[in-house]
Amino acid sequence: MFKKMIGALGIAALAVGQAHAAIQIQWWHAMGGGTTGEKVQQYAQAFNESQDKYEIKPVYKGTYTETMTSAIAAFRAGEQPAIVQVFEVGTATMMAAKGAVYPVHQLMADAGVDWDPSDYLDAVKSYYTTPDGKLLSLPFNSSTPVLFYNKDVFEQAGLDPNNPPSTWAALEDVSRKIIDSGAAECGFTTGWQSWVQLENFGAWHNHAIATRANGFEGLDTELKLNDDLFVDHIRQLKEWQDENIFAYGGRRGDPNPLFYTGECAMLMNSSAYYGSVKGETDFDFGMTFLPYRGDVEAAPQNSIIGGATLWVLRGQDPEVYEGVAEFFKYLSSPDVQVDWHESTGYVPITYSAYERARGEGFYDENPGADIAIKQLTYNEPTPASKGLRLGNFVQIRDVLNEELEAVWSGEKGAREALDSAVERGNALLRKFERTAR
Amino acid sequence: MVENRRWLNLLTHAVLLLGLAVVALPLWMTFVASTLGPGELINPPIPLLPGSHLLANYGEALSSGMARAGGVPVGTMLFNSLVMALGIAVGKIAISVISAYAIVYFRFPFRMTVFWLIFVTLMLPVEVRIVPTFQVVSSLGMLNSYAGLTIPLIASATATFLFRQFFLTVPDEYLEAARIDGAGPIRFFRDILLPLSRTNMAALFVILFIYGWNQYLWPLIVTTDEHLYTIVMGIKGMVTVSDEEPNWPIVMATSMLAMLPPVAVVIAMQRLFVKGLVDTEK
Amino acid sequence: MQKRVGFDRWALPYLLVLPQLAVTLVFFIWPASEALWQSMLRQDPFGLSTEFVWFENFVELFHDPAYLHSFGRTIVFSASTTFLSMVVSLLMAVAADRVMRGANTYKTLLIWPYAVAPAIAGVLWWFIFNPSIGIVAYALSVLGVDWNHYNNGAQAMLLVVIAAAWKQISYNFIFFLAGLQAIPRSLIEAAAIDAAGPVKRFWTVVFPLLSPTTFFLLVINVVYSFFETFGIVHATTSGGPAAATEILVYKVYKDGFIGLDLGSSAAQSVILMAIVISLTVVQFRYIERRVAY
């Protein structure tokens, strides 16, 4: 009896000792209280339970910008986490911070973890690799803009709900019919205007928005947003806006209610909104590719991603990085990837996860859920469509928002606004070039 | 009441009711939104009367809604908010009332230097100087502590300014009378000035408590330990879900719940307020 | 600015100001000096490469039309917000001071909005004014007004002014009411006996007696509208459309906290500080002289 008790105590002490010995690894993320936040917790927990050497500690740090700025402020004070989730527009900033960032390909090699980066989709990977194709950060959540359309409205307007428009000309035509029939007040709206109507519009038409292969080939890149292709597109949108074929409803996800309420028949926004569109609407909706211009031969090419990746920051003990490598391997596993894709609306980012989801019949049950990945992989990414690597991109996007809004409100013409966007954007690029050297 | 004119009374109530309607509208809408079912919010126009999901939403807000945003129990977050709010309110009132006393009632070398040193902090809220402030707090080893949460936020002159304004209106006769009675500065402060300032302190307490309670960016930056998370951080976490629509009714229900402690403080302090006013003169 | 009579002690006043001075020096002056230093640097966000550039950040700002534009926006915004919230709250405080029945109910309800966290208030305004689902936008459309602050700069400005003033009404109301109730009844009764009507009585007796409170609130409201409103702007308009609501403090926040351009952001804070320090000096030197204590 006495011996047994001692034994039990010993085991308990051992357990306590082990719990203390686990190496803590902080993971700062921006996945709030929805499904995504829950999943982050779940994966960390599952990983922690699968071994007892490391303990991943997910810490919610606010929005993407709040998370990134917190991590940078912490780095400056020497209190940085090992892992931080950074959105795609922060890529150039992170990449330029060579002394601060531990590139993922190197981390994995140093830790000797068996890990196959080629399983990641080209369109996802290409955004985050060095010129020689090495991954700098671990892709985590990715999406791409698609076209959501209201099938009920299509039917009311006498259109085939299973034949959504594929070109901008068809989109105009469909919108006119819808408005004329009174089925909806407006044709379409768009969220994330810079991402959807400029960045992805460029990629989809295989037309770079900046020189030096969208910044991949050098910091001396310059914007090309005042090329005729973009100017024509924005001018066209403005003309449509005057006829209510297009309605502007704000930045980010702000225009979504225009679609949910049936005011606009179509919405271009992130595919990750799939779950929300499903939840907020009581009509039948469909998803399809972004429209392209029939007169552009190169179109459609492939679209580019948005979302975030996990960056590793330097300054921790070597054993911490071994834990990070193990955890990254776990996160890349098909089990996690399939679960993440199916429960959140983000695209599957590895080929094996995509295959598995398809094999399980996920896309038969959820029609449209594979539109995003099909569009991302429509063609092998070209230098104009593999992504963007622009410094100060957060601020550049803001400039683009401002200038586009000046067009929508009638203050400026399309040419004038985009000229000014290029000038202001280039100034920001030069500023970045100077500090990044 | 000095006189009773019917039209004036009617006008008074009309002004109040109208003002109330405008001021309370956003609040009422929060409440209404917190009682709706999922999706009901998105169909225009938003209803003006509460819906039928009151119990369900509040139940979820209390149980699972919050836990999703980081796995911290609501109780812990409420407690942290309380500590932060009380720390800021009490700390700021304490340091300001004595420094205002010194500035108004004493003549001493460098008085004006001190005055301006304190008053420049009227500007620049912590959010704008957040990166350097973070570095200071971190080099003092105050990250992830209640001290780090509260002390940097009490460095502001608003309360000192209010006490200064108030002390200037206190008739000089009080001080003269106290001197005749042989009272020193400490006794004068304790027995005369402090009781006179009761109303102002109550008002300030309300304001600072709410200021502390509602902080968001600062606690977000200085804490990485979930056990120090505050309720507003929890709510923001529910709102800023990336690439999906937040569950608005639950968010609103949680917001209503998070509003209750500060409102309780308002109501409780209001009594003190009124009492302070009654005691002083009428 | 100081009592005619006062104490002369050697150590006591220093002891009394010490705690506040210590906190101010450590948590305000120290970081603010760092900001001042930062404003002359050009750095990458991580602080890995630093270049001392003297006043280049400042020069750049004053050559930037967007920055100059933001000055104008700030003046419109601050003046309207301060005016709106002070007038409305004074009116309501005067009314609340008059009523006997239901006074406490009014007071409690009027203070309630103050309890709403700014982070949440922004969300509320987003909802109420949302052009497609908002209740106000809906009411306006019934009245024939097409509300779309995403597209219309003037409407966007109106929205942020209302949202910012709303937040401050309760605060002003509390202090105006406390100030009004501190006015001795005897004075008002005396004026009533002199047969002054309620309006005249307000302007000749009540308002002058209220001037310390009004001055206090004026300073607080100007400071508030200059500095503490970026949260509201951030949540409702993000400075848009086309920078129509991009006030100075929001630009500091945007360029520094979001855009990670610490040098330029620090330079902007320094300019802002200079503006408000001079504003405060002007307020203390000139306006306060006319305030009756």
Task: State mean pLDDT over C26-36.
Answer: 87
Min Cα–Cα distance to chain B from A28, Å:
9
Please indicate, yes or no, if residue B23 is contained in any of the structural domains.
Answer: no
CB pairs under 8 A between A and C: 94
- Percentage of chain C beyond pLDDT 90 is 26
CA distance B147 to A7: 43
For residue B93, the one-letter residue type is I
Contact B43 A26 (CB under 8 A): no
Domains and CATH numbers, chain C: 58-290 (1.10.3720.10)
Chain C residue numbers with beta carbons less than 8 Å from the beta carbon of B128 are 227, 230, 249, 252-253, 256, 269, 272
Give the residue among A140, A28, A154 at the shortest CA–CA distance from A80. A28
Strand order in the sheet with A83-87: A54-60, A23-29, A83-87, A306-312, A138-143
Q: Which residue among C6, C117, C178 places its CB closest to the CB of B106?
A: C6
Domains and CATH numbers, chain A: 21-143+305-365 (3.40.190.10), 145-303+391-436 (3.40.190.10)
User: What pLDDT does residue B70 have?
Assistant: 55
Q: Are B280 and C183 in contact (CB under 8 A)?
A: no
Chain C residue numbers with beta carbons less than 8 Å from the beta carbon of B168 are 1, 3, 212, 293
Chain C residue numbers with beta carbons less than 8 Å from the beta carbon of B106 are 6-9, 12-13, 16
Contact B26 C121 (CB under 8 A): yes
Report H helices in C25-102.
Answer: 30-38, 56-62, 65-98
Contact B185 C24 (CB under 8 A): no
Q: Which residue has the higher pLDDT, C210 or A5?
A: C210
- CB contacts under 8 A, A 24-63 vs B, are 26, 28, 30-38, 41, 59-63
CA distance A124 to A139: 7
Task: State mean pLDDT over C261-280.
Answer: 85
Contact B242 A63 (CB under 8 A): yes
| pLDDT confidence bin for B33, thresholds 50/70/90 | confident
Across the strands, what pairs with A369? Answer: none
CB pairs under 8 A between A and B: 116
Min Cα–Cα distance to chain C from B202, Å:
10
CA of C6: which chain B residue's CA is closest? B105
C52 touches chain A (CB under 8 A): no
Q: Which residue among C42, C46, C151 places its CB closest to the CB of A434?
A: C42
C289 touches chain B (CB under 8 A): no
Q: Which residue has the higher pLDDT, B279 or A306?
A: A306
**DSSP assignment letter at A33:** S
DSSP string, chain B: -----HHHHHHHHHHHHHHHHHHHHHHHHHHHHTTSPTTGGGSSSPPSS--S-HHHHHHHIIIIIHHTTTS--HHHHHHHHHHHHHHHHHHHHHHHHHHHHHHHHB--TTHHHHHHHHHGGGS--TTTTHHHHHHHHHHTT-TTSHHHHHGGGG--SHHHHHHHHHHHHS-HHHHHHHHHTT--HHHHIIIIIHHHTHHHHHHHHHHHHHHHHT--HHHHHH---GGG--HHHHHHHHH--TTS---HHHHHHHHHHHHHHHHHHHHHHHHHHHHHHHHHT-
Q: Are A224 and A209 in contact (CB under 8 A)?
A: yes
Highest mean pLDDT among A300-309, B35-44, B231-240, C185-194: A300-309
Please indicate, yes or no, if residue B96 is contained in any of the structural domains.
Answer: yes
Q: Which residue has the higher pLDDT, A341 or C231?
A: A341
Q: Are B126 and B212 in contact (CB under 8 A)?
A: no
Please indicate, yes or no, if residue B27 is contained in any of the structural domains.
Answer: no
Please indicate, yes or no, if residue B26 is contained in any of the structural domains.
Answer: no
Q: Which residue among A33, A69, A308 places its CB closest to the CB of B238?
A: A33
User: What pLDDT does residue B1 have?
Assistant: 45
Chain C residue numbers with beta carbons less than 8 Å from the beta carbon of B46 are 127, 133-135, 138
Q: Are A302 and A375 in contact (CB under 8 A)?
A: yes
User: What pLDDT does residue A9 have?
Assistant: 42
CA distance C235 to C250: 11
Please indicate, yes or no, if residue B20 is contained in any of the structural domains.
Answer: no
Q: Are B265 and C112 in contact (CB under 8 A)?
A: no
CA of B37: which chain A residue's CA is closest? A280
Best of A63, A76, A398 to mutate (most C CBs within 10 Å, chain C): A398
- Written as six digits, the tokens of B193 are 């000035």
Contact B138 A31 (CB under 8 A): no
Specify the pTM: 0.88
Please indicate, yes or no, if residue B24 is contained in any of the structural domains.
Answer: no
Give the residue among B101, B76, B84 at the shortest CA–CA distance from B196. B101
Q: Is C163 left (phi over 0), alpha (psi -120 to 50) or beta?
A: alpha
Give Cα separations from A202 to A194, A222, C230 (angstroms). Answer: 11, 15, 33
Chain B residue numbers with beta carbons less than 8 Å from the beta carbon of C283 are none
- Written as six digits, the tokens of A378 are 């429509």
Q: Which residue among A34, A253, A261 places its CB closest to the CB of B42?
A: A261
Q: Are A167 and A293 in contact (CB under 8 A)?
A: yes
DSSP string, A382-405: PTTTS----TTHHHHHHHHHHHHH
Neighbour-count burial for C183-199, b at 16+ CB within 10 Å, e otherwise: eeeeebeebeeeebebe
| pLDDT confidence bin for B27, thresholds 50/70/90 | confident
Give the residue among C3, B155, B196, C156 at the shortest CA–CA distance from A254. C156
User: What pLDDT does residue C231 have?
Assistant: 79
Residue for token digits 């209220």? C210
A46 touches chain C (CB under 8 A): no
Q: Which residue has the higher pLDDT, C289 or A252?
A: A252
The alpha carbon dihedral of B187, B189, B193, B195 has a sign of negative
Query: How far from chain centre, in Å, is Cα C262?
Result: 24
A96 touches chain C (CB under 8 A): yes
Min Cα–Cα distance to chain C from B63, Å:
20
Instruction: Summarize pLDDT for B121-166 with one digit per residue, the tens.
Output: 766 666 667 778 888 898 898 888 999 999 988 877 888 988 988 8
Contact B68 A70 (CB under 8 A): no
Average pLDDT, chain B: 82
Please indicate, yes or no, if residue B10 is contained in any of the structural domains.
Answer: no
Chain C residue numbers with beta carbons less than 8 Å from the beta carbon of B173 are none
Chain C residue numbers with beta carbons less than 8 Å from the beta carbon of A398 are 239, 254, 258-259
Chain C residue numbers with beta carbons less than 8 Å from the beta carbon of B25 are 128
User: What pLDDT does residue C2 have?
Assistant: 60
C241 touches chain A (CB under 8 A): yes
Chain B residue numbers with beta carbons less than 8 Å from the beta carbon of A33 are 65-66, 68-70, 234, 237-238, 241, 246
User: What pLDDT does residue B271 have?
Assistant: 74
Query: Structural domain tally of chain B?
Result: 1
Contact B246 A34 (CB under 8 A): yes
User: What pLDDT does residue A247 have?
Assistant: 95
Q: Is B268 left (phi over 0), alpha (psi -120 to 50) or beta?
A: alpha
User: What pLDDT does residue A401 have?
Assistant: 93
- CB contacts under 8 A, B 129-168 vs A, are 130-131, 134-135, 138-139, 143
CA distance A131 to A429: 19
- Percentage of chain B beyond pLDDT 90 is 13
Task: State mean pLDDT over C207-213.
Answer: 86
Q: Are strands C41-43 and C50-52 parallel, antiparallel or unpaired?
A: antiparallel
Q: Which residue among A31, A275, A282 places its CB closest to the CB of B242?
A: A31
Continuous segment of H or E residues that includes residue C274: helix C262-282
- Neighboring chains of C (3 or more beta-carbon pairs < 8 A): A, B
Task: State mean pLDDT over C161-175.
Answer: 89
CATH of the domain at B204: 1.10.3720.10
DSSP string, A267-312: EEEEGGGHHHHHHH--S-EEEEPPPB-TT-TT-S-----EEEEEEE
Phi, psi of B183 (to 5 degrees): -80, 135
Residue for token digits 């301006």? B116
CA distance B92 to B95: 5
Range of the domain at B89: 34-280
pLDDT higher than threshold 90 for residue B240? no
User: What pLDDT does residue A165 have?
Assistant: 96
Residue ranges in chain A whose pLDDT is less than 70: 1-20, 33
Q: Are B136 and B101 in contact (CB under 8 A)?
A: no
CA distance A436 to A100: 13
User: What pLDDT does residue B26 have?
Assistant: 83
ipTM value: 0.84
CA distance B270 to B202: 8
CA of A344: which chain B residue's CA is closest? B244
Instruction: Summarize pLDDT for B76-99 with one digit per residue, the tens.
Output: 888 999 999 999 999 999 999 999
Chain B residue numbers with beta carbons less than 8 Å from the beta carbon of C273 are 120, 123-124
User: What pLDDT does residue A5 have?
Assistant: 42
Residues composing chain A: 437
User: What pLDDT does residue A12 have?
Assistant: 41
CA of A270: which chain B residue's CA is closest? B243
Please indicate, yes or no, if residue B230 is contained in any of the structural domains.
Answer: yes
C264 burial via Cβ count (<10 Å: 0-12, 13-18, 19+): buried
